[in-house]
Amino acid sequence: MVDFAKAPVAKVVPKTTTLHGDTLNDPYAWLRDRESAEVIAYLEAENAYTEAVMADTKDLQDALYAEMLGRIKQTDLSVPYRKGDYWYYARTTEGRQYPIYCRSRELGSEGGEQILIDANAMAAGHDYFRIGVLAVSPNQNLLAYSTDVEGDEEYTLRVKDLRTGELLPTEIKRTYNTVRWAADNETLFYNVLDAAKRPYRVYRHRLGSTTPDVLVYEETDERFTLEVNETRDEAYLLLDSHSSTTSEVRLLRATDPEGEFEVLLPRVQDIEYAVEHHTNRFYVTINDTGRNFRLVTMAEADRSRERWRELIAHSADVLIEAVEPFADHVVIVQRSGGLRQLRIDTLGTGESHLVIFPEAAYTVYPVMNVEFRTNLLRFSYESFTTPASVFDYNMDTRERELKKQEEVLGGYDRTAYETERLFATAADGKQIPMALVYKRGMVRDGRNPTLLYGYGAYGINTEARFSSSRVSLLDRGFVYAIAQTRGGSDLGRPWHDDGKMLNKRNTFSDFIRCAEELIAQKITDSDHLAIEGGSAGGLLMGAVVTERPELFQAVLAHVPFVDVVNTMLDTSLPLTVGEFEEWGNPQEDRYYRYIRSYSPYDNTRPASYPHMLVTAGLNDPRVSYWEPAKWVARLRALKQDRNILLLKTNMGAGHFGASGRYDRLKEIAFEYSFLLKAVQTPKQP
């Protein structure tokens, strides 16, 4: 068992705040000072302790890493897509962490490849590296790209002349991840961050200009973020202002970069919409008649509501997620019964059909549909057992061509694994979907090691995705399950509404019911059940382990949002104001009472807890590192058991962990080693 005498002990510095008549105690608030040598030393001591506790798994980590690496085709090529005169693609090379982005006029031609960006060369000397945007100008002579070398999601924007390979003088810092070209090939529109790292302004930059960039629009409502986009036919540039519940779009013809952006539909609280364009009409998805959206069109020349044409009415059972117009077709990305669907409407004939998929649980989404005048829809399909597969689908003949399936080396056989869907019944009678995958022949003896994943926030869906790394768990007898709890939009927008604000506790109780159902079905028991979630899903982990610590054997909490009251009271932090529409504003008594009732940091109590691995990123702008650090410190002080409790902080990355593919595999190998160690280590009271 672990020598807890060597575990770091965070000092207690009394700090109290009075709010709504309550006294809030925050004895570890001092950990917020990331410039403090004492704070850094504490985080490094926690990392050293984590390494010491996990030292006996070093051989296992190496074995897992070798297994996972052995399934990956390290030298590989993405499916090329056509844009104008070029084919664009990315390739990876064995031993190199990052992709190389390329293009070629003729695929396979000797010496015809042009390297646009070699991310490996750019990443040299940096612990972290990520490409934000890659935007080729309409004439394909210029490339705008942005990079982040800290993990703090602040990108530096540059422009490369693809004819000469030279970098232009343009270098713009603190940009975010949306950039668009105007049709003149000389004008760029980009968004930048405010002090709270909210994308709030869009500027216009003209190449070669010696005057300051022009501020096009500033979003002054702190609930809203601002992005710059374009319609699929490249006719219009779009400024998209949106909060969690409300949106407003401004548009400008791409051929008129010096013009003024015009509001399409003025913002109305709790009304969201998105815009596309085809010929002389706008296609608008809008939730003005129901939470799941409808699809309408409006003429460019007359957008008055009485002249709108409704193409798809609102449905209580089908959520419209997105619309992608083509010259002769419209693709509707929708969701029904917890699964995404692709609906194809043929313009002119009015004919409509769904693309059919064979498996009980899967995910599908359109990818790289750059061409507008084509009858081919490209989409990616995957499931728990089917590796990511790119298809070209003929929207007229309904034939599909597999262009590429992720190659899984090492003898992977998808028929050796089985997928099923289960439902857990919530206290209010709602049916909570789950999807499971396991090695065929799994015996329901109630003792299978099981990993249950959950997220449940922001309307983000929990999908059945393939992972070649996960095979290492499945082959060791693990069952892997996802819980589509309320808080996501898996069953439509009302599913999200039932898991946010003053309904947030439904997310936690749904997850607990899913865990109980896995036990009732004799798939596992509380001595073999591990759970996993990150960010808002890390809040889910904290809430359920605080409420029902005896139900779980192990917890993986990635960058968990667990200090909810303090974070939501601090409007200087990234995301806070915009989050009021997801969690509520604790300055209001009713929201404070509700948030206070579940915030893990505030509700940690003397109890016996499961084995736990908690991760953090020192540069994380979304969930500040001190949230997991403070939570672990409080858990150490209050827990009444001898079970494993580890804090692992990535000192050179942010919210998403390691950026290089080999480094990421090492992180997964470490986490899987913890899980395997935890399910084999009896909990000690």
| Antiparallel, parallel or unpaired: β 529-534 and 554-558 | parallel
Task: Say whether 620 is catalytic.
Answer: yes
The Cα–Cα gap between 144 and 138 comes to 11
Q: From CA 273, how far away is CA 257, in angstroms rounded?
A: 24
Backbone angles phi, psi at 124, to 5 degrees: -55, 130
SS3 65: helix
What is the distance between the alpha carbons of residues 251 and 234, in angstroms, rounded to a whole number?
Answer: 12
240 token code pair:
């998209």
Report residue 337 as tokens: 């019964």
Verify whether residue 535 is a known catalytic residue.
yes
Calpha distance 104→88 (Å, rounded): 7
Say which of 247, 380, 468, 535 is annotated catalytic: 535
Give the three-state DSSP class for 271.
coil
* Pairing between β-strand 199-206 and β-strand 187-193 as defined by DSSP bridges: antiparallel
Residue given tokens 């650090």 in the structure block: 629
Which one of the listed residues 205, 277, 496, 655 is annotated catalytic?
655
Q: Which two tokens stand for residue 520?
A: 């009732």
Tokens of 294: 């409808």
Per the residue annotation, which of 620, 624, 659, 673 is the catalytic one?
620
Count CA atoms within 13 Å of residue 15 on its CB side.
11
**CA dist list (Å): 607 to 140, 553, 655:** 62, 14, 29
Strands 225-230 and 236-242: antiparallel
Q: Which helix (H) or strand (E) holds 262?
A: strand 262-263
Pairing between β-strand 236-242 and β-strand 199-206 as defined by DSSP bridges: unpaired
For residues 83 and 33, give the distance between their C-alpha atoms in angstroms, rounded to a whole number. 48
Going by DSSP bridges, is the β-strand pair 479-483/450-453 parallel, antiparallel, or unpaired? parallel
CA dist 328 → 83, 320, 642 (Å): 19, 20, 65
Other CB atoms within a 10 A radius of the CB of residue 188 amount to 25
Do 560 and 539 meet the contact criterion of CB atoms below 8 Å apart? yes
- Concerning whether 570 is annotated as a catalytic residue, the answer is no
Catalytic residue list:
535, 620, 655
